[in-house]
Amino acid sequence: MDSPPQDSLSEGKPVADHIEASPQKTEKIDTTRTDEAMKVLAHYTGEQSWEPSEEKRLVRKIDWRLLPVLCMTYGLQYYDKAMLSQAAIFGLRQDLGLIVGNRYSMSAAIFYLGFIVGAYPTMFLAQRYPIHHVASGIVTLWGICLILTSVCHNYQSLYAQRFFLGLLESGISPMFMMIVGGWYKKNEQALRMGIWYSCTGYVSIFSPLINYGLGHIKGSLSSWKYMYLFAGALTIFWGVCLEFLLPSDPVSARGFNERERYISVARMRTNNSGVRNTHFKMGQVVELALDIKFWLIFFTAFLAMIANAPVSTFTPIIINSFGFSTLESLLLVIPAGFYGGTMMLILPWLGYKYTSKGIRSWLVIGGQIVTTVACLLLLLLPLNETGGLLFACYILPTMGAGYAVLMGLQIGNIAGYTKRSLSSSGLYIGYCLGNFVGPLCFREQDSPRYVPGFIVTVVTSVIAAVLVFVYRFVCLYDNRRRDATGVLEGFENAYQDDLTDKTVSPQPLPSRQQNRPDNHRILNSDIPSSIILVTMVFRANYAVDN
């Protein structure tokens, strides 16, 4: 049974879960070594315990303030970047000369080169400056870039536009991972990741209908250009709105009173990963580069996302090749969007509901298996088996649901703000590399079956599943090895940003751990320091949820 939330009152009786050593108000907080959250903890003078019901109300408020904004932004991003596949059947390929060789595939792939180039600079800006300023700026700029698609006159100009569009959109997913990691406890993160990530599927329910209507405008421009003009204008409007709507972190977000801000920060101590730190730590960069678990997750994302090429770039074209009209092809994309979005909610929810069972790695593996089956069906079924081929197209996005779980698993097992921000960007670069390679495997001359492409996706999906299994084994081995030394997890230095998930305490701590195999427990050093303001006393039965 899960233990009750830390820092709460159980059945009206106070428990010694949260003991603060309050400094003098004049003491300067060193945010080079500590997290920005220390400012909130240091200057709060009210009651330092809270009822579980009070925390539940606060989490609900955070959900309503944060998740609609993340969902709208991410849905808009996918709507914009997936526009290419729907514009393609309204004349874009013919107008820009994309039907020659691999030009269409390259126009899809080069978008993710921009992602790779832009991911780390964007995350550097997001760490150095308020995230809502950075997010608002880049969303507005990408809206302008999207509008400029309408002035492209050949495939070279489209390549340039797609590269810069990818560069501008690159930071959204890593930033959202950081925002979720700063607002929610580890056992809450997977579900929230899945909620905003599911919009990649659900937006595909509405975008075909919108674009079909825009595609029938009879004007002086080609019909696909109206699609980009509308999407770009909508994106610019939303980018301006983000400046006022996005609550970037508990330390600085508007709309929370002093007690809500305190609880938002203090409850995050169980993450052992901090909330916000604006100082770049080179030591954490080196540590991340030597962390085998990061590389296992990185290559899992890379290999899994190769199968995303037929999902995001070729699905309308593949369905159209079954003999359906343009309208029918667009409408038949809708069930795939509904299925993909729903699975991106269900799998993270299962990970959230059964965290104590250590099932998250199995959920990722399951997503890979379903996608592998879909690729095999598209590879082997005859073209006259339309029902089976459509079914395969609809279940193909399941690996995206596994990726939503993977994001929560990765961000929950990394501590140190610099390390966490870079690992988020690293995971996304793996995602981008997979999405860059994937379209290049689907060549024009291989249509309509794309046999080489689907062979590649089958092989890479299987290898990705194997890597997740290895990740699970490595975490299990690490946990058992550390438990054998008697070194257990503590939270008394949770906001010491010099400490990461690889920094181990030399002293055993009075706590008991659950040995969950797909979680790498985060262990902190017990280093004396005048800047340590908080200490913890644990329940004997407390189990951390990674």
Identify the bridge partners of residue 34 per DSSP, sorted by sequence position: 496
Q: Dihedral of the CA atoms 25, 30, 34, 35 (nearest 10)?
A: 60
pLDDT(7) > 70? no
Q: Looking at residues 266-289, what average pLDDT do you find?
A: 66
pLDDT, tens only, 356-371: 788 889 999 999 999 9
DSSP 348: H
Identify the bridge partners of residue 9 per DSSP, sorted by sequence position: 14
Strand, helix or coil for residue 34: strand
Confidence class of residue 488 from pLDDT cuts 50, 70 and 90? low
Which of 106, 102, 127, 59 has its CA nearest to residue 281? Answer: 127
pLDDT, tens only, 396-427: 999 989 988 887 777 767 766 677 667 777 78
Dihedral of alpha carbons 494, 495, 497, 498, sign: negative
> Worst-scoring range by mean pLDDT, 113-127, 332-346, 376-390?
113-127
pLDDT(18) > 90? no
What proportion of the chain, given as a percentage, has pLDDT over 70?
A: 78
Q: How many angstroms separate the Cα of 356 from the Cα of each of 136, 155, 246, 273? A: 37, 51, 32, 20
Question: For residue 301, with 0-12 CB atoms within 10 Å meaning exposed, 13-18 middle and 19 or more buried, which class applies?
Answer: buried
Rounded CA gap, 70 and 420, in Å? 19
pLDDT on residue 412: 66
Confidence class of residue 519 from pLDDT cuts 50, 70 and 90? low
Greater pLDDT, 486 or 168 = 168
Q: Looking at residues 325-329, what average pLDDT do you find?
A: 82
pLDDT(69) > 60? yes
Two tokens, residue 374: 């879909």
Pairing of strands 19-20, 9-10: unpaired
pLDDT(96) > 90? yes
Two tokens, residue 508: 């055993």
Place of tokens 């990970």: 351
Confidence class of residue 310 from pLDDT cuts 50, 70 and 90? confident
pLDDT(527) > 60? no
Which of 298, 302, 428, 306 has its CA nearest to residue 372? Answer: 306
Residue spans of alpha helices (H) in 305-440: 308-309, 315-320, 326-331, 334-353, 360-380, 386-395, 398-412, 417-440
pLDDT on residue 493: 42
Confidence class of residue 466 from pLDDT cuts 50, 70 and 90? very high
pLDDT, tens only, 141-189: 999 999 999 999 999 999 999 999 999 988 888 788 888 888 888 778 8
Which of 16, 37, 47 has its CA nearest to residue 531? Answer: 37
Highest mean pLDDT among 29-38, 76-85, 260-269, 366-375: 366-375
pLDDT, tens only, 237-273: 999 999 999 987 788 788 888 899 888 888 887 665 4
Domains of the chain: 46-268 (1.20.1250.20), 281-485 (1.20.1250.20)
Confidence class of residue 279 from pLDDT cuts 50, 70 and 90? low
pTM score, whole prediction: 0.71
Confidence class of residue 49 from pLDDT cuts 50, 70 and 90? confident
The continuous run of DSSP H or E covering 475 comes out as helix 451-485
Greater pLDDT, 76 or 187 = 76
Q: Looking at residues 317-341, what average pLDDT do you find?
A: 87
- Contact present, 287 and 414 (Cβ < 8 Å): no
Q: How many angstroms separate the Cα of 120 from the Cα of each of 293, 379, 416, 473? A: 20, 37, 17, 29
Greater pLDDT, 479 or 455 = 455
The per-residue DSSP string of 229-250 comes to HHHHHHHHHHHHHHHHH----T
Residue spans of alpha helices (H) in 99-249: 103-128, 131-147, 155-169, 172-183, 186-197, 199-215, 223-245
- Contact present, 180 and 411 (Cβ < 8 Å): yes
Confidence class of residue 487 from pLDDT cuts 50, 70 and 90? low
pLDDT(497) > 50? no
pLDDT, tens only, 290-306: 888 889 989 999 999 99
∠ CA 13-18-22, nearest 5°, is: 125
pLDDT(28) > 60? no
Mean pLDDT (the chain) is 78
Phi, psi of 506, deg, nearest 5: -80, -10
